[in-house]
Amino acid sequence: MHQMRVKTNSIVTLLAGVLGVFASAPETRAADLCGALWQARNAIFANKGYCFETSEAVALFGKGCFPPYGKLSAAEEADVQRIRDVEAHQGCSPNPVRTGGGDSTSASDGVRVLPKYVVQVSLSSAAANKLTSSGETVRVSASYYGTAASGVGAGDDGEIGLANETLDLANGTNSVNLGGISIPESELRKTKEGRPMLLINVYTSRKVFQENLLDCGIYQGDAALAGQVDISCKLIGER
């Protein structure tokens, strides 16, 4: 399938050109501008192998799904945020069909469908040997949340929970696919971000040992930017 590719360093130039065209043609429909901004934003993800799922995105960029699976550099994340800021300034709908990181969608029944992503877990040799010899397994937990908007009740941390996913890695595997779930727009409107944030934790499944054995890194950030998440683990107390 044809796949559209845009050089990353041309994104800002492309964005400036898009805004220049629309500034010189004020009669142009706002929807056209929002569509152009959506295309510029998703072109960044297309260059990094994002796994597109909506028919519109697939038709324009191709299916994608190649390393690094939509994982962006800090500079690319800044470009995405810059485009989002312009979308907000131009009055694009905060939850259009084209929104979020890659092509996460807002369905007609008022839910946000999150893009899928991959969590890749790497174990130290000591951790891998301990789990293999004992039969214990690894659990990946994903918590979707947001900072409570003004006037919205929240916990002591000022956050509200939106959804959770928990999956155990099958024996002999080191990755798991997550995302693709739906979150009501009514819940997202209760958050300051207007989109789900994501916290990923990894620990042992406690099927053999009552206590967790692993000391792992975490992922915390925009759920739509997860792409491929790499998390390293070692045994608690291991140097």
- Whether residue 23 lies inside any domain: the answer is yes
Are 227 and 202 spatial neighbours (Cβ–Cβ below 8 Å)? no
Do residue 157 and residue 226 come from a single domain? yes
Do residue 12 and residue 55 come from a single domain? yes
Of the residues 59, 75, 103, which one is the last residue of a structural domain? Answer: 103
More confident site: 231 or 85: 231
Give me the number of domains the chain comprises. Answer: 2
More confident site: 77 or 149: 149
Of the residues 74, 103, 132, which one is the last residue of a structural domain? Answer: 103
**How many whole angstroms separate alpha carbon 213 and alpha carbon 65?**
33
Are 128 and 134 spatial neighbours (Cβ–Cβ below 8 Å)? no
**How many whole angstroms separate alpha carbon 110 and alpha carbon 112?**
7
Mean pLDDT of 83-92: 73
Q: Which are the contacts of 24, defined by CB distance < 8 A and separation ≥ 6?
A: none
The mean pLDDT value of the chain amounts to 80
For residue 6, what pLDDT band results from cuts at 50, 70 and 90? very low
Of the residues 103, 123, 146, which one is the last residue of a structural domain? Answer: 103
Q: CATH number of the domain that 201 lies in?
A: 2.60.40
Do residue 229 and residue 143 come from a single domain? yes
Residue 67: how many other CB atoms lie within 10 Å: 11
More confident site: 30 or 220: 220
Helix (H, G, I), strand (E, B) or coil at 11: helix
Do residue 120 and residue 188 come from a single domain? yes
- Whether residue 3 lies inside any domain: the answer is no
Do residue 89 and residue 134 come from a single domain? no
Do residue 91 and residue 132 come from a single domain? no
Do residue 124 and residue 198 come from a single domain? yes
**How many whole angstroms separate alpha carbon 187 and alpha carbon 181?**
14
Mean pLDDT of 12-21: 57
Task: Kindly report, residue by residue over 52-71, the tens digit of the pLDDT.
Answer: 777 777 777 787 777 777 78
Nearest residue to 113 via CA among 91, 88, 84, 144: 144
For residue 51, what pLDDT band results from cuts at 50, 70 and 90? confident
Do residue 148 and residue 129 come from a single domain? yes
Do residue 116 and residue 99 come from a single domain? no
Mean pLDDT of 123-145: 95
Nearest residue to 224 via CA among 33, 85, 84, 62: 84
- Whether residue 51 lies inside any domain: the answer is yes
Do residue 22 and residue 39 come from a single domain? yes
For residue 94, what pLDDT band results from cuts at 50, 70 and 90? very low
Q: Which two tokens stand for residue 194?
A: 């207007």
For residue 168, what pLDDT band results from cuts at 50, 70 and 90? very high
Are 203 and 218 spatial neighbours (Cβ–Cβ below 8 Å)? no
Are 54 and 103 spatial neighbours (Cβ–Cβ below 8 Å)? yes
Supply the range of the domain harboring residue 215. 112-235
Q: Which of 13-22, 62-71, 92-101, 228-237 shows the highest mean pLDDT?
A: 228-237
Strands 175-178 and 117-123: antiparallel
pLDDT at 17 over 90: no
For residue 7, what pLDDT band results from cuts at 50, 70 and 90? very low
Do residue 126 and residue 229 come from a single domain? yes
Do residue 128 and residue 200 come from a single domain? yes
For residue 100, what pLDDT band results from cuts at 50, 70 and 90? very low
Side chain identity, residue 39: Q
More confident site: 156 or 193: 193
Side-chain-side CA neighbours of residue 53 (13 Å): 18
- Whether residue 1 lies inside any domain: the answer is no
Residue 218: how many other CB atoms lie within 10 Å: 10
Query: How far is the CA of 1 from the CAs of 16, 39, 57, 108, 203, in angstroms?
Result: 29, 18, 12, 28, 39
